[in-house]
């Protein structure tokens, strides 16, 4: 391995929900985001394919962190960062109607183009939490993206047990290329099992074959925030003589066309047991989770209530924007109870959705009453099952 170059495409996703507390946003920016841009600025050969959701972009500007946006633009200009498209408020797209998927993608494009200007020209798409469905792929294709990044667990087992990363796969029936992240290497790096470039190279040697590229994908907040010190390991890996850093889009020009595949509904929160049970989005929609089921019922009521408002109604735009923000995924993740739990995040998410229904002129009295009942059940069940203490396994 010492004399063999590793073609490595590193995808990082950075995002904060619209309900994030400003003090926490600033802490994460200092511990992680600025560390990542500093790493790239001091290592011109290092490259990152970056997803930054419009929700975070706006918050950085609002909270006086516009310098970070300028540094990201500088790195994009230097060819060290490429952007991907996504959904502005980070919803679980397969759980939404196509009209809402399309809107979230358009809002994300509009917001990031505003802040990044001509440097915002993504070829690829990152579905929040890598949550994939056929509907998502169809809207992504209609939106003009050329490729999408998915969980390795989305790779169809009738083709192979694992993707062959010596070729570029295409989506069956759609003009869309597919990239599948290397699950084990990504997980081991993200969860602190790799603490040196030597550890990383050993892992790569075990997980990849000669002639294959390595595609890792993680939350950017992993480096420096969730795992203090791991940003230094990342810098060490980039500086290793065997590392050949690439953008994901650059792989399209290096590797030959592979077969068409039809991915499985999936997400990057999957465990193998969940996959066997047919639970593609377990951290956000787990069968048997009584809080999740009520949250999604409340989501559907909120969508129905806003769709029922005439677009000429003076209050339509305000309600429409409230719904956009209220669809964020964090409320579901924190309600997972496996073991993660955050009462305030769950309560705030439920309250946002409940208020939309109760304030909507398009909602019936029955729907307004149902929304209130669902909100109360979410809160009461949450307190009964988990209490108000934050529980997080990083």
Range(s) of the domain holding residue 353? 290-385
Task: Give the list of residues 6+ apart from residue 138 with CB closer than 8 angstroms, or none.
Answer: 98, 174
Same structural domain, 207 and 298: no
Amino acid 103: pLDDT: 98
Q: Per-residue pLDDT for 1 more than 50? A: no
Q: Is residue 281 part of a domain?
A: no
Instruction: Give the residue-averaged pLDDT of 86-93.
Output: 98
Q: Which letter does DSSP use for residue 281 in this model?
A: S
| Residue after which a domain boundary falls, among 223, 239, 274 | 274
Same structural domain, 235 and 172: yes
Instruction: Give the residue-averaged pLDDT of 330-358.
Output: 95
In the chain, the largest separation of any two C-alpha atoms, in whole Å, equals: 71
Instruction: Give the residue-averaged pLDDT of 354-376.
Output: 97
Same structural domain, 94 and 189: yes
Q: Is residue 158 part of a domain?
A: yes
Same structural domain, 199 and 225: yes
Q: Is 161 or 176 the better-scoring residue by pLDDT?
A: 176
Place of tokens 């290397």: 182
Q: How confident is the model at residue 2 (pLDDT cuts 50, 70, 90)?
A: very low
Q: Distance between CA atoms of 329 and 13, rounded to whole angstroms?
A: 14
Amino acid 381: pLDDT: 96
Instruction: Give the residue-averaged pLDDT of 203-211.
Output: 87
Q: Which letter does DSSP use for residue 264 in this model?
A: P
Place of tokens 């992993």: 222
Instruction: Give the residue-averaged pLDDT of 363-376.
Output: 98
Q: Is residue 144 part of a domain?
A: yes
Q: Is residue 242 part of a domain?
A: yes
C-beta separation of 154 from 278 below 8 A: no
CB count within 10 Å of CB 319 equals 21
Across the strands, what pairs with 149?
A: 179
Q: Per-residue pLDDT for 167 more than 80? A: yes
* Number of domains the chain contains: 2
Amino acid 158: pLDDT: 82
Amino acid 195: pLDDT: 94
**CATH number of the domain where residue 251 is located:** 3.20.110.20
Same structural domain, 268 and 319: no
- Looking at 2-11, 25-34, 86-95, 129-138, which range is the least confident one? 2-11
Same structural domain, 116 and 142: yes
Amino acid 41: pLDDT: 97
Same structural domain, 235 and 306: no
Same structural domain, 101 and 245: yes
Q: Dihedral angle at the C-alpha atoms of 102, 105, 108, 113, nearest 10 degrees?
A: -100
Q: Are strands 48-52 and 257-261 parallel, antiparallel or unpaired?
A: unpaired
| Tens digits of residue pLDDT in 245-274 | 999 999 999 999 999 999 999 999 888 889
Same structural domain, 201 and 322: no
Q: How confident is the model at residue 239 (pLDDT cuts 50, 70, 90)?
A: very high
Q: Distance between CA atoms of 330 and 18, rounded to whole angstroms?
A: 10
Same structural domain, 112 and 11: yes
Place of tokens 């952007």: 83
Task: Give the list of residues 6+ apart from residue 6 with CB closer than 8 angstroms, or none.
Answer: 201, 204, 208, 214, 242, 243, 244
What's the mean per-residue pLDDT of the chain?
A: 95
Chain centre to alpha carbon of residue 164: 23
Q: Is residue 394 part of a domain?
A: no
Q: Is residue 227 part of a domain?
A: yes
Q: Which letter does DSSP use for residue 153 in this model?
A: G
Alpha helices, DSSP H only, in 4-65? Answer: 22-28, 34-42, 54-62
Q: Is residue 279 part of a domain?
A: no
Same structural domain, 268 and 297: no
Instruction: Give the residue-averaged pLDDT of 329-351.
Output: 94
Q: Per-residue pLDDT for 64 more than 90? A: yes
Sign of the CA dihedral running 365, 369, 371, 372: positive
Instruction: Give the residue-averaged pLDDT of 25-33.
Output: 98
In three-state form (DSSP H/G/I as H, E/B as E, the rest C), the secondary structure along 165-215 is: CCCEEEECCCCCEEEECCHHHHHHHHCCCCCCHHHHHHHHHHHCCCCCCEE
**Cβ-count burial of 320 within 10 angstroms (0-12 exposed, 13-18 middle, 19+ buried)?**
middle
| Tens digits of residue pLDDT in 308-328 | 999 999 999 999 999 999 999
Q: Is residue 34 part of a domain?
A: yes
Same structural domain, 301 and 249: no
Q: At what angle do helices 290-307 and 343-359 cross, to 10 degrees?
A: 30
């Amino acid at each position: 391995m010492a004399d063999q170059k590793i073609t490595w495409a590193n995808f990082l996703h950075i995002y904060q929900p619209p309900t994030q507390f400003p003090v926490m946003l600033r802490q994460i920016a200092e511990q992680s985001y600025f560390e990542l841009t500093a790493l790239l600025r001091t290592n011109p050969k290092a490259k990152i394919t970056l997803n930054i959701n419009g929700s975070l972009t706006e918050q950085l500007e609002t909270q006086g962190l516009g310098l970070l946006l300028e540094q990201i633009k500088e790195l994009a200009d230097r060819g060290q960062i490429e952007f991907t498209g996504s959904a502005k408020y980070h919803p679980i797209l397969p759980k939404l109607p196509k009209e809402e998927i399309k809107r979230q993608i358009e809002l994300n494009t509009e917001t990031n183009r505003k802040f990044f200007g001509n440097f915002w020209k993504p070829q690829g798409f990152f579905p929040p939490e890598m949550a994939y469905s056929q509907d998502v792929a169809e809207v992504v294709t209609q939106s003009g993206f050329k490729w999408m990044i998915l969980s390795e667990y989305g790779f169809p087992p009738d083709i192979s047990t694992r993707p062959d990363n010596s070729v570029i796969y295409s989506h069956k029936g759609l003009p869309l290329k597919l990239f599948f992240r290397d699950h084990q290497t990504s997980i081991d790096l993200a969860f602190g099992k790799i603490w040196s470039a030597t550890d990383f190279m050993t892992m790569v040697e075990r997980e990849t074959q000669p002639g294959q590229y390595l595609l890792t994908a993680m939350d950017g907040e992993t480096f420096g925030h969730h795992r203090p010190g791991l940003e230094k390991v990342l810098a060490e890996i980039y500086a290793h003589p065997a590392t050949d850093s690439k953008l994901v889009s650059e792989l399209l020009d290096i590797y030959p066309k592979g077969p068409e595949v039809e991915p499985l509904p999936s997400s990057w929160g999957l465990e193998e047991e969940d996959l066997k049970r047919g639970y593609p989005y377990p951290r956000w929609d787990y069968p048997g989770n009584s809080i999740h089921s009520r949250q999604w019922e409340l989501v559907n009521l909120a969508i129905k209530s806003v769709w029922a408002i005439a677009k000429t109604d003076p209050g339509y735009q305000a309600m429409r924007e409230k719904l956009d923000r209220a669809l964020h995924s964090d409320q579901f993740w924190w309600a997972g109870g496996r073991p993660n739990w955050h009462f305030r995040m769950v309560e705030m998410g439920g309250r946002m959705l409940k208020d939309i229904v109760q304030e909507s002129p398009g909602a019936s009295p029955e729907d307004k009453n149902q929304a209130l009942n669902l909100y109360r059940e979410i809160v009461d069940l949450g307190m009964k099952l988990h209490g108000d203490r934050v529980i997080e396994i990083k």
